[in-house]
Amino acid sequence: MVPVRYNIRSLLVRKVTTFATAIGIALVVFVFAAAQMLGEGVNRALANSGRTDTVIVLRKGSDAELSSTLDGERLNMLRSNSAVASSAPGGGVIGESVLVITAELADGSGGISNVLLRGMPADGMKFRPEARIVSGRAPSPGTNEVIVGKSISGRFEGIAPGKTFEVRRNRPLLVVGEFETGGTSYQSEVWGDLDTIRASVGRESVVSSARVRLTSASAFEGYRAAMEADKRLNLKVMREDDYFKKASEQTSGFLAGMGMVIAILFSIAAMIGAAITMNGAVANRTREIGTLRALGFSRLAILTSFMLEAIFLSLIGAAIGLLFVQLLALVSFPTMNFQTFSEIVIRFAATPAIMISSTIFAVAMGLLGGLAPAIRAARISPVEAMRG
């Protein structure tokens, strides 16, 4: 074996090149780790939304409220079970209609985004004890009045207290107040009257989903079994917190996937950088390598030595990248929940697993980038030692 200190010192001697290459690798490691930390952050942020004693019922085959429909017959079925807390608001069961509208951003950019509109019966707000009016007043049942969640109030044209916006031509909705729900994803919705909202899209007789309050969290399994037993009803029964967890997995998966794609694209550049650096190292040390070969070091020893050097290089990069990525733990920002279209606040969350996988990723980059130069080094003839 060529002594390891040979490679470490060779890297340290070429400080500038080594550092520049390591920074490239550090950047990739940073992006790679950050994407996963973001995904982890989303999971943590959303895992806490939703109640354990509340159930969301959708049409089977629907993953989200948006794509689900339930008729009156099914709503009645949902009530006819002793696990339902019938003394709760709405008799423990409320059916809601959900639709997404596109609205123009109020920042003057001309951009548009989605807003989730929820039509609920009179007891809809009471059903969610965490919901409260923070300005203005609650909408009157049976009217075109709506309230807007605090997280998105003022972000869109017309969707702010005192203003109106249209879901359907000549059917303006009037915003009469703002509400909050303690930071859960509901806080990024617009709430209005069930009949007004479903009439505006011509779905008078059906709702999108139902929420059922159970007597206790432990009653869930029995209730679900009972409701899903009748295959003709085609119902899907989920605990509200599980529903949000699933939503978070979609979102975090998307963010982590995006980050991964960016990291992999960057890693190609970083790998080329590592390859160029190692190639330069090999070219500059042709006589040195020839000398080692003349002294009796095998091709394999030379190959191993230069692969190790590439790994050290990538480890320096990983260390720098992971050092800086720790700073992200101080950052938090709002983002879109892709299933419920609500805003959630994300904090980058580091875990040992993320640190380890990022380091492995860096080492893989070093190995791939360093392979061709190392092979080149191993092919150098010992005769090179003799050339002046």
Partner 1 sequence: MATESSNGASIVTLKDVTKTFYRGKEPIHVLAGLDLDVPSGSFEALMGPSGSGKSTLLNLIAGLDRPTSGEVTVAGANLSRMSDGQLAKWRSQTIGFVFQSFNLIPVLTAAQNVELPLLLTDLGGADRKSRVATALRVVGLEDRMDHYPRQLSGGQEQRVAIARAIVNDPKIIVADEPTGDLDRKSADDVLTLMDKLNKELGKTIFMVTHDPAAAEKASVQRKLDKGALQ
Strands 171-180, 132-136: pairing kind: antiparallel
Residue from 376, 378, 374 nearest 293 by CA: 378
Which DSSP symbol is given to 95? Answer: E
Q: How far is the CB of 299 from partner 1 (least distance, A)?
A: 7
Q: How far is the CB of 298 from partner 1 (least distance, A)?
A: 5
Lay out the site mask for partner 1 across 270-299 (x = CB under 8 A, - = otherwise). Answer: -----------------xx--xxxxxxxxx
Rounded CA separation 16/151 (Å):
48
Region binding partner 1 by CB under 8 A among candidate stretches 8-16, 90-98, 210-218, 256-264: 8-16
- Stretch (H or E) spanning 343: strand 343-347
Lay out the site mask for partner 1 across 228-267 (x = CB under 8 A, - = otherwise). Answer: ----------------------------------------
> Are the C-beta atoms of 378 and 300 separated by less than 8 Å?
yes
Residue 169 vs 387, nearer CB to partner 1: 387
Which of 1, 225, 331, 356 forms a contact with partner 1 (CB under 8 A)?
Answer: 1
Q: How far is the CB of 29 from partner 1 (least distance, A)?
A: 26
* Token pair recorded at residue 330: 């101080």
2 is a contact residue toward partner 1 (CB under 8 A): yes
Task: Give the phi and the psi of residue 344 in degrees, each rounded to 5.
Answer: -130, 150
Q: Cα dihedral sign for 258, 262, 263, 264?
A: positive
Write the single-letter amino acid at 15: K
> Are the C-beta atoms of 280 and 21 separated by less than 8 Å?
no
Surface-to-core class of residue 170, CB atoms within 10 Å of its CB (0-12 exposed, 13-18 middle, 19+ buried): exposed
Region binding partner 1 by CB under 8 A among candidate stretches 6-14, 188-196, 317-325, 365-373: 6-14
Region binding partner 1 by CB under 8 A among candidate stretches 9-17, 66-74, 103-111, 259-267: 9-17
Residue 37 vs 380, nearer CB to partner 1: 380
Write the single-letter amino acid at 353: A
Measured in residues, the chain has a length of 388
Q: How far is the CB of 284 from partner 1 (least distance, A)?
A: 11
Virtual torsion, Cα 71, 72, 77, 82, nearest 10 deg: 130
Residue 283 vs 386, nearer CB to partner 1: 386
5 is a contact residue toward partner 1 (CB under 8 A): yes
Residue 202 vs 296, nearer CB to partner 1: 296
Residues 11-50 that bind partner 1 (CB under 8 A): 12-13
Residue 52 vs 291, nearer CB to partner 1: 291
The end-to-end CA distance of the chain, in Å, is 26
Residues 294-333 that bind partner 1 (CB under 8 A): 294-299
In the complex, the residues that contact partner 1 under the rule CB under 8 A are 1-3, 5-6, 9-10, 12-13, 287-288, 291-299, 381-383, 385-386, 388
